[in-house]
A and B are shown apart, each in its own frame.
Chain A
Amino acid sequence: MITKKDTFQLSFFFIIMFFLPVILNSFQGGGYYIGIFVPIGFFTLTALGLNLLIGFAGQISLGHAGFMTIGAYSSVYICNKLGYSALYGFALSILLNFIIGFLISKPILKLKGHYLAMATLGIGLIIQIISREFMYFGGGEGISLPDLKIFDFNFNDFKHKEFAYYYLVWLLNFCVLKLSLNFINSKAGRALKALHINELAAQSLGINVTAYKTFIFVFSTILAGISGSIAAHYNSYILPTTFDLHTSIKLVTMVILGGTLNIWGTLFGVFILMIIPELLGKFDEYEGIVLGAVLIVILLFLPDGLTSIPKKLKRLCFKNNG
């Protein structure tokens, strides 16, 4: 059941995110900072789904950038090739990721541990290669997207494009947070945690393990798809390499950094990994190294992520006193 604490945190989150642009905008160059929160927002959308999959259900995926790519190219197809409204692009993105996620979840979720990691990695690569070889979508050169227009509202035309996208993506994140909290605080969340530890035992307790794993995998691919569609519109352009293996690894790092048994941890994980490059200036070449280092340090010293720090500290103090 959703606890009072969750409701409080969710309201707090809503208020902060609602007023953040207003506050940032009162500073010099505020538009730039709001702009940073747009990619943070769409990565959060993918990472939230991934946290349910990795943190709660214990199933790794190194291929979620691929589902973002599917989402992005769905929007390209609808908006650029067919000239229909962006909403249909989102619909196609959801539909495709639903179908593809469902179909591959059947064979792939039978795999465990590093076999699952390799299989999902392969799927990400296959999607990337297909998008590169598909000349209809510009091949390796990529392809542009028209402005994101929902009904008569043009997101890119808006005085500050960042504002419009910011509210779109964070409103979505708010909804997904609410859904995730519903889910993990019910028997469904406990079922995920149980099958994470031991699938056979979970089954003997009445949990339909296959159904739960499929459900949460498909949910996460759909979120990745929506995220990819928004990202493509925001950048007005999509390349087969926009969301690649590197992105997939970054997403997993975000989830693990934040803490895998805490929905809110994901927000910190995404924020930190997105803000570091901004703070250090352009350091494209070193980003991989930083990412790897963060992952190793976290796995060695904080396997339960940043959100486990308060608990760890409490335990440390307790030990010292006792």
Chain B
Amino acid sequence: MADNILIAKNISKSFGGIHALKNFSFSVKKNSITALIGPNGAGKTTVFNIISRIYQQDSGEIFFQNKDITNFAPHQLPQLGISRTFQNIVLFPNMNLVENIMVGGHIYGSSSIFKYLFAVFSSKREDELLFKRAMNNLEFVGLQKLAYSEISELTFGQLRLAEIARCLMSDSELLLLDEPAAGLNPKETEDLARLLLEIKKIGKTIFIVEHDMNLVMTISEKIIVLNFGEFLAKGTPSEISTNPQVIASYLGDDQYIG
């Protein structure tokens, strides 16, 4: 379908004896919020790692904007239009917050490393622009006051927001968010929901892995359920919340209903 920005066909991946993914197919509609849910160890992060080319699938194909991305290297994806956050937050403590955000805009500017040694062009102007965009994105997620803070000074919730701000820097079409609400309090989660809807409004597509069912049910148009590496169900929030199979294997376990 033309309005699917991401299509995966029969993805399989195993680690040693563990079949993390078995013939998993799914699609993500352009400018939607699509959620991928499933119990711990279901293979959700593995799906993200395969999309972002950190892992190579054993078999199956992935198309982004109708382009087979199997032969791309991980560092080429932001250029292509795919950006991500990490389940176990990865920010760089050797830089302050705004510099961390600027790293997300790495694809802008010259791709010749050599030039940055000799500064044969105005890397200063380039950096000023990047800085301005980083500040805008910090403002967007509500962290502009902390721009010059060290990473160690931020709260958990702020770290999650920082990752989202950094993810926005490459201006990618598709954002892969791996459990952005994990560790957030109810108020922070509510703010996050608003932020994600805001991001959708500016035209982005969000593919989100999340355990917080409240959040998932409120913001997503489509939910895909993964169970032990296999496709279990897909549908709208109301379809999923009433699907007996899903309730039995996942939603019935009330620790996830939050």
Interface of A toward B, CB cutoff 8 Å: 1-2, 179, 182-183, 185-191, 193-194, 196-198, 200-209, 211-212, 215, 219, 261
A219 to B113, CA, bound (A): 11
Cβ–Cβ contact B90 & A186, under 8 A: no
Shortest CB distance B6–A (Å) = 16
| Interface of A, helix, strand, loop or mixed by DSSP | helix
Q: Which 4 A-B pairs have the closest CB atoms?
A: A188-B116, A206-B78, A203-B74, A201-B90
Cβ–Cβ contact B92 & A206, under 8 A: no
Q: Does B31 contact A (CB under 8 A)?
A: no
Interface of B toward A, CB cutoff 8 Å: 52, 54, 73-79, 83-84, 86, 90, 92-95, 99, 102-109, 113-114, 116-119, 123-124, 126-128, 130, 166, 170
Shortest CB distance B200–A (Å) = 21
Nearest B residue to A215 via CB reads B113
Nearest B residue to A56 via CB reads B94
**Which of B90, B113, B118 is within 8 Å of A197, CB to CB?**
B90
Q: Give the residues in chain A near B95, CB-CB below 8 Å.
A: 190, 193-194
**Which of A185, A186, A197 is within 8 Å of B94, CB to CB?**
A197
Cβ–Cβ contact B52 & A204, under 8 A: yes
Cβ–Cβ contact A187 & B77, under 8 A: no
* A1-B127, A188-B113, A188-B116 known; A206 vs B94 contact (CB < 8 Å): no
Kindly list 16 other residue pairs between chains A and B, CB separation below 8 angstroms, not including A187-B127, A215-B114: A1-B123, A2-B124, A182-B119, A183-B116, A183-B117, A186-B116, A186-B127, A187-B109, A194-B95, A198-B92, A203-B75, A205-B104, A205-B170, A206-B76, A206-B77, A212-B113
A215 to B114, CA, bound (A): 8
Cβ–Cβ contact B103 & A194, under 8 A: yes
Cβ–Cβ contact B54 & A207, under 8 A: no
Cβ–Cβ contact A182 & B117, under 8 A: yes
**Which of A183, A185, A200, A206 is within 8 Å of B79, CB to CB?**
A206
Cβ–Cβ contact B54 & A200, under 8 A: yes
Q: Give the residues in chain A near B52, CB-CB below 8 Å.
A: 204
A21 to B119, CA, bound (A): 31
A219 to B118, CA, bound (A): 12
**Which of B76, B93, B128, B166 is within 8 Å of A1, CB to CB?**
B128
A-B contact pairs, 15 of them (CB 8 A): A182-B119, A182-B123, A186-B116, A186-B119, A187-B127, A188-B116, A190-B106, A191-B103, A193-B95, A202-B103, A204-B77, A204-B84, A206-B75, A206-B79, A207-B75
Cβ–Cβ contact B106 & A191, under 8 A: yes
A188 to B170, CA, bound (A): 16
Cβ–Cβ contact A190 & B102, under 8 A: yes
Nearest A residue to B116 via CB reads A188
Nearest A residue to B107 via CB reads A206
Cβ–Cβ contact A179 & B102, under 8 A: no
Nearest B residue to A182 via CB reads B119
Q: Give the residues in chain B near A187, CB-CB below 8 Å.
A: 102-103, 105-106, 108-109, 116, 123, 126-127, 130
